[in-house]
């Protein structure tokens, strides 16, 4: 049986979640093994949430928010961008491939980009294989 990764996607309420909805209503290809979690802003996704998702069995974590400069909360996605850089380094220190985490900017009107980003991320995580932390927990 072929490995199908389990992906957790934290989507900002104002842009990414709406972009995901548009992708669905437009009948674009969206991976079924991606579980969306709606958050008010991508900046609300603390690094420990990403680590916890990976430790509890997720093979990859996607955080998607508004484009920089378009955040509903003015500067939220700038905080997210800084956290993402730190998080990639932290994942490497934990022995995880930083490719298991992705930050993406998706506008509310960009359903095709949501489809493209999610399908590419699932493919990337599929190539990495199962999360090695899942066996240790």
pLDDT at 134 over 70: yes
Q: Does residue 135 lie within any of the structural domains?
A: no
| % residues pLDDT > 90 (the chain) | 88
**Does residue 106 belong to any structural domain of this protein?**
yes
In a domain, 47, yes or no: yes
Whether 61 and 100 have beta carbons less than 8 Å apart is answered as yes
> In b/e form, how buried is each residue of 85-123, taking b as 16+ CB within 10 angstroms?
eebbebbeeeebbeebbbbbbbbbebbebbbbbbeebbe
Residue 137 in this model has a pLDDT that exceeds 60: no
2 is a domain residue: no
- 38 within domain boundaries: yes
The predicted-structure confidence for 99-129, as pLDDT tens digits, reads as follows 999 999 999 999 999 999 999 999 999 999 9
Q: What is the pTM of this model?
A: 0.95
- C-alpha angle 95-82-10 in degrees, rounded to nearest 5: 75
Confidence class for position 72, pLDDT limits 50, 70, 90:
confident
pLDDT number for residue 136 = 65
């Amino acid at each position: 049986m072929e490995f199908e990764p389990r992906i957790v996607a934290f989507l900002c309420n104002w842009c990414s979640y709406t972009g995901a909805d548009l992708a669905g209503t437009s009948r674009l290809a969206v991976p079924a093994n991606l579980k969306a979690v709606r958050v008010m802003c991508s900046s609300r996704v603390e690094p420990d949430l990403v680590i916890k998702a990976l430790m509890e069995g997720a093979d990859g974590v996607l955080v998607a928010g508004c484009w920089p400069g378009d955040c509903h909360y003015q500067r939220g996605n700038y905080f997210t961008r800084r956290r993402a850089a730190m998080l990639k380094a932290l994942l490497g220190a934990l022995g995880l491939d930083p490719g298991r985490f992705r930050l993406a900017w998706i506008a509310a009107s960009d359903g095709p980009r949501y489809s493209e980003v999610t399908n590419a991320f699932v493919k990337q995580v599929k190539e990495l294989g199962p999360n090695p932390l899942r066996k240790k927990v």
